Structure 1
């Protein structure tokens, strides 16, 4: 056994999906998507109904997951900025305390391309020197071209605390890293099976023109999702005879766009069978300029649909995206089931904490839009979070308490019997997991920095959101507009009260709360020196 049940040192398996809305799981109310294995975890565990990200962008939120700190504290405020090796992750702490640690799948703690973090806009000068020196260590280890151009390239381990890493880099069927090397070992002509130029014909697919979806030639058994599950199962099997407890992060790059579920998962859900979001064609009151700009661009036939930024899509495009997204989620559900079955077969399930979450959400038809960026609707910030504890400590149920990605690190450490590091800003969720108490938290802070000018704005969007149990206030730097939404009376977030005369006292009150929350979010690490 990896450890004795009486030791109080459980194993952990952390499942992370990518760009996954909370309500796209059966246990969160979706009646179309097929997720029986994840739903089974929810039945045996604690489901969080109001769990949000620290930032609805991949790299910042993944760095927050690892550090228990907001982006403004750990420094990864946008994609394209690598997590400093000076940051202590909770996986570092588990490893130092005797846990075996592994990551299989997507990491994205360092850059995957060599593109700059941000493009200067008008009035923004890119100066030759940064005010902060790079912490010593190896960076750029996840840049996919390095892996593609040098078959011998490898990570320097341990990597942010992970002593074993099997990496995938990228999305859809075009991923790199260890998976691509493995694929080429299985098939010498493997590259002919991947990418939109080698895809199976889909002449009626509306998303094909923007390359946001294609029917991959990869069979299910060679797809990254299956590979991740199999490599996780292999590593867990190696730990079964060890005395040490283990932590493994099983990290899927799907259901992220472009949508390429393989084999039977492509046709599992038909576009005509998925309901559109209730806000798809709803009238919006005082919509913020980004939403108006996206809709106007689509009306003029100028929507930019081929990248990673939000765009207004047609009904057919959104139905296709939803159907294929559901296919990818069903494939992930099967993969989660393979990992859980391995734990059960090895007699480890009762001693293992299983956690399921995602790095951020997706618009997927919300307001007729797709993808993400520069907006803080709940479809982008709210993600699933399920905690199934060991057999003797399971307290099934649901909670509506506010919780956030930065809470994962202190929660895992608490369950491991370890104190959090000074400077971790999240709080342990164990009292909620065990059904013993409520949190004192009344609000959350969500941070985002854009990489480029979008929506016709004068500058890169830089926004902060205060999220309370009832309201959302979103402020954009140097802009006279923002968003104020009453989530109780307007759960679809259709009516922006920012300019409403009757809401001005409330806006002022929430603005003060936002300022106080940002002040509390200032980093407390390191401690002042003894001589200070």
Structure 2
């Protein structure tokens, strides 16, 4: 039976790279840059007019960004583990901090080391076992608390040193996990604070402190001053991207290196009268700003420039996407909930019978969330706070809770059923 070229490509487990590989003599490299607490709305490439992020804006312009990327939980350690395993916090055991269960998990670094990659980790780990290399990382530079000077530059120096030693002959995987931005936004070089000394942040959308605020009250006492320090930290983070890319260019590695930038969680930064993310209120919240972080892919010749994808993607989709991009097979028994977005991010058509789902899920402690392209449902177990339903098309700021509105009962029941099915399938 004759098979069309499109059908063959759609059926391939690594459709895009199967075509690209013929033009490459070695396996592609991967640089994964992780920020700590960074909502997408804080970057210029996502519309922010007050915070300076020229290097990340350039990375986005010369690559592709997802307009909506949702993290699986409101805690940074949990998402860091999800990025590297593809599994949910209740599966890998990490949410607010380390878990012994992570020892038995297969990380992307395990798979890539087995495939011949040299793997390096520099920066914040917070998943336990910092004292020794693990999970296939042969080069191991975690932040342990004894570093001196500006810690972001410490991370960059280790990452640059690793990249300087690479050659086109052997593939590599580098994680540069920055502790920025993170409150109290102290210890930065003064030049970053000076950039924002007179900025009023009139477009930041902040509100007076909410009665539900449980953390960050000291930051909400003078929100504009806190926003200035946050902005300084964001720009300081942005500055770290440039030397990483410069090494790739100088070593003639850029064209064969996929660079991914994302963040482990978002934060409210004064919106809804809260500062931190989901753990900034009681009960916990799952507002958009707490969950939506940047997802930027940059890969010359493979990922289109000036791309902006509208598919709803989540942090649990990154692992299968990277596996597809680097042509390694995910663990077959991991019960992964994510789907590779390699086809969308490279502007390739999805199979007609398998369109993108445009449905994402998140949870934090007793609070769960599901959203589609229009509606968002938040459920809290054991009566610990109100349930919520928002029409994001009419109310993007999530100000008007429609959970008890009879006009939305069908929508509510549909989303509740989808959340139950998700919970059962990936328990």
TM-score by length of 2: 0.87
Query: Which of 515, 520, 530 does residue 420 from structure 2 map onto?
Result: 515
User: In 1, distance between residues paired with 2:208 and 2:407?
Assistant: 27
Give the match for residue 96 of structure 1: 114
Structure 2 portions without partners, runs of 5+: 1-20
Give the match for residue 357 of structure 2: 441
Cα deviation, residue 509, structure 1: 2.2
Equivalent residues of 1:276, 1:319 under 8 A apart: no
Any residues of structure 2 matched to 1:111-510 within 5 Å, and which? 141-142=129-130, 154-155=131-132, 157=133, 159-169=134-144, 176-177=145-146, 180=147, 183=148, 222-240=149-167, 243-260=169-186, 261-270=188-197, 272-278=199-205, 280=207, 292-294=211-213, 309-311=215-217, 314=220, 317-372=222-277, 373=279, 374-389=284-299, 391-396=300-305, 397-422=307-332, 423=334, 424-437=336-349, 439-449=355-365, 462-479=366-383, 481-510=386-415
Q: Kindly tell me: are residues 108 and 311 of structure 1, through their superposed partners in 2, closer, same or farther at Cα, counting changes over 3 Å?
A: same
Q: Kindly tell me: are residues 342 and 364 of structure 1, through their superposed partners in 2, closer, same or farther at Cα, counting changes over 3 Å?
A: same
Local SS of the residue matching 2:127? coil
Structure 1 portions without partners, runs of 5+: 111-140, 143-153, 170-175, 184-221, 283-290, 295-303, 450-461, 523-532
Give the match for residue 81 of structure 1: 99
Local SS of the residue matching 1:478? helix
User: In 2, distance between residues paired with 1:353 and 1:344?
Assistant: 13
Equivalent residues of 2:303, 2:347 under 8 A apart: no
Equivalent residues of 1:279, 1:368 under 8 A apart: yes
Query: Which of 24, 36, 39 does residue 21 from structure 1 map onto?
Result: 39
Cα deviation, residue 250, structure 1: 0.8
Give the match for residue 59 of structure 2: 41
Cα deviation, residue 514, structure 1: 1.1
Equivalent residues of 1:279, 1:492 under 8 A apart: no
Give the match for residue 459 of structure 1: none
Cα deviation, residue 327, structure 1: 1.0
Local SS of the residue matching 2:40? coil
User: In 2, distance between residues paired with 1:72 and 1:483?
Assistant: 23
Superposed CA deviations along residues 212-237 of structure 1, whole A, max 9, x for unmatched, are: xxxxxxxxxx3111111111111111
Superposed CA deviations along residues 423-459 of structure 1, whole A, max 9, x for unmatched, are: 232111110111113552131110212xxxxxxxxxx
Q: Kindly tell me: are residues 500 and 4 of structure 1, through their superposed partners in 2, closer, same or farther at Cα, counting changes over 3 Å?
A: closer
Give the match for residue 206 of structure 1: none
* Structure with bigger gyration radius: 1
Cα deviation, residue 75, structure 1: 2.1
Equivalent residues of 1:411, 1:427 under 8 A apart: yes
Equivalent residues of 1:312, 1:369 under 8 A apart: no
User: In 1, distance between residues paired with 2:423 and 2:222?
Assistant: 39
Query: Which of 61, 67, 71 does residue 53 from structure 1 map onto?
Result: 71
RMSD of equivalent CA atoms: 2.2
User: In 2, distance between residues paired with 1:477 and 1:256?
Assistant: 29
User: In 2, distance between residues paired with 1:235 and 1:310?
Assistant: 36
User: In 2, distance between residues paired with 1:514 and 1:85?
Assistant: 29
Local SS of the residue matching 2:165? helix
Give the match for residue 10 of structure 2: none
Cα deviation, residue 292, structure 1: 4.4
Local SS of the residue matching 2:104? coil
User: In 2, distance between residues paired with 1:419 and 1:359?
Assistant: 24
Cα deviation, residue 4, structure 1: 11
> Would you identify which runs of 4 or more consecutive aligned residues in structure 1 move more than 6 Å?
none
Cα deviation, residue 335, structure 1: 1.0
